[in-house]
Amino acid sequence: MTRTDIKDLAQGLAQDLRAGNRAALARAITLVESRRHDHQAQARELVQSLLAETGRAVRVGITGSPGVGKSTTIDALGMHLIEQGHRVAVLAVDPSSARTGGSILGDKTRMARLSATDTAYIRPSPASGTLGGVAAKTREAMLLCEAAGFDVVLVETVGIGQSETAVCEMTDFFLALMLPGAGDELQGIKKGLVELADMIAINKADGDNFARANLAAAEYRSALHILSPRSEHWHPPVVTYSALTGAGIAELWRKILEHRSAMNASGEFAERRRQQQIKWMWSMLESRMMARLRADPAIRARVKQIEAEVADARITPALAADQIAAMLN
């Protein structure tokens, strides 16, 4: 396929996507997820051509342990936003999907109202098998959703640890969901999650859990006083809500907008976006280099030999890294 063919195909898809064609958006995201060389070339052309139409959406990362109610929260929050006239896209980052198949059907079942709404779009992550690969595809999918007219993008992290950091680094606001009465209320702080969060929200603040949710919120507020916030212009609030009843959902969104206003006023919003773009570039570069190592049979065979030499302590890992890097020149 010639460069002209690739450009023509990308421009045709971009035109359909700008018109809000949901099928075109699905095809575009499938294109960026593909590992085929010609598809990757089309995807790069497509995203570049749409760049001017991106960047205006509110990007929210949402994380929490299994059972905290992420999908139910996204369903409730998404419907609240749609009632206010927004168009909502939901993307999932699940580095475990290559092993388990993910929870695609489960997510859509728990987001029953949102998945049945024309002004919402739900897309699971690709089964990439590596967090870097999933994160890169999710970033591009986010841009495509923005170009298609979705003005709020909710990025759900299904995994833990590094996946939380990856989602935090691609969004404007990082929301950590917690459960009341789940043993050690401050366990999240030990894992570093709370230090990433722009807000902590205690779910299931209803019925018998109401008092426990308020107690958990008080403990998190006390703990946050001894932690350094991500920004000097924003101190993460702790709120309670119920995804089941909808109580407190509007407050979640108000806090997200307050954060955006504070970050814009200080200039930190634009700077954070710039730094995210640079990190994305380096992430893509690392992915491309690894792809070359895997794609070339001769290089792949030599890398296997070097691995064996390192394992047998015949050469140092440092020297092995130099030899592999030299093959990429």
Pair 159, 132 in one domain: yes
* pLDDT over 80 at 135, yes or no: no
Cα atoms found within 13 Å of the Cα of residue 88, Cβ hemisphere only: 27
* Residue that is last in its domain, among 243, 266, 289: 266
pLDDT of residue 100: 44
The percent of residues in the chain predicted with pLDDT above 70, rounded, is 84
Overall average pLDDT of the 207-222 stretch: 89
Choice among 8-12, 104-108, 170-174 with the minimum mean pLDDT: 104-108
Least confident window among 154-158, 170-174, 206-210, 288-292: 288-292
**Global confidence as pTM:** 0.86
Instruction: Indicate whether 102 and 212 sit together in one domain.
Output: yes
Residues 19, 65 share a domain: no
Residue 320 and residue 172 in one domain: no
Mean pLDDT of 69-80: 94
* Bridge partners, 62 (sequence order): 156, 175
pLDDT band for 103, please (50, 70, 90 cuts).
Answer: very low
pLDDT of residue 240: 95
What b/e readout covers 197-220, taking b as 16+ CB neighbours within 10 angstroms?
A: bbbbbbbbbbeebeebbeebbebb
Q: Are residues 239 and 283 both part of a single domain?
A: no
Handedness of CA 289, 294, 299, 304 (dihedral sign): positive
DSSP codes, 3-67: HHHHHHHHHHHHHHHHTT-HHHHHHHHHHHH---HHHHHHHHHHHHHHGGG-S-SEEEEEEE-TT
Residue 231's pLDDT band, with cuts at 50, 70 and 90, is confident
Write the pLDDT tens digit of every residue in 245-254: 999 999 999 9
Asked if 68 and 154 sit in the same domain, the reply is yes
Shared domain for 156 and 16, answered yes or no, is no
Report the CATH number that the domain containing residue 156 is assigned in CATH: 3.40.50.300
Over residues 146-191, the pLDDT tens digits come to: 999 999 999 998 755 667 788 888 999 999 998 887 555 555 454 5
Residues 14 and 69 in one domain: no
Nearest CA among 122, 175, 168, 128 for reference residue 145? 122
163 shares a domain with 41: no
Same domain, 78 and 196: yes
Q: Report yes or no on 34 lying in a domain.
A: yes
Average pLDDT of the chain, as a whole number: 85
Residue 212 located in a structural domain: yes
Residue 273 inside a domain? The answer is no
Mean pLDDT within 287-312? 88
Q: Judge whether 249 and 80 are in contact, CB under 8 Å.
A: yes
Tokens (6 digits) for 147: 């170009």
Please report the pLDDT score of residue 208 as a whole number. 87
Q: What are phi and psi of 312, to 5 degrees?
A: -90, 5
- Single residue among 37, 53, 69 that ends a domain in this structure: 53
- pLDDT of amino acid 5: 62
DSSP, collapsed to helix, strand or coil, labels residue 247 as: coil
Range of the domain at 306: 278-327
Residues 36 and 140 in one domain: no
Asked if the structure places residue 272 within a domain, the reply is: no
Among 105-114, 133-142, 205-214, the range scoring the smallest mean pLDDT is: 105-114
Residue pointed to by tokens 């907008």:
257
**Domain count of the fold of the chain:** 3
How sure is the predictor about 98, in pLDDT bands with cuts at 50, 70 and 90? Answer: very low
Would you say residue 90 has pLDDT above 50? yes
- Pick from 131, 119, 223, 234: nearest CA to 173: 234
The two tokens of residue 149 are: 């007219």
pLDDT for position 79: 97
First to last CA, the chain: 26
Domain boundary (15, 35, 53) is at 53
Is 128 within the bounds of a domain?
yes
pLDDT for res 36: 84
In a domain, 271, yes or no: no
Residues 39 and 167 occupy one common structural domain: no
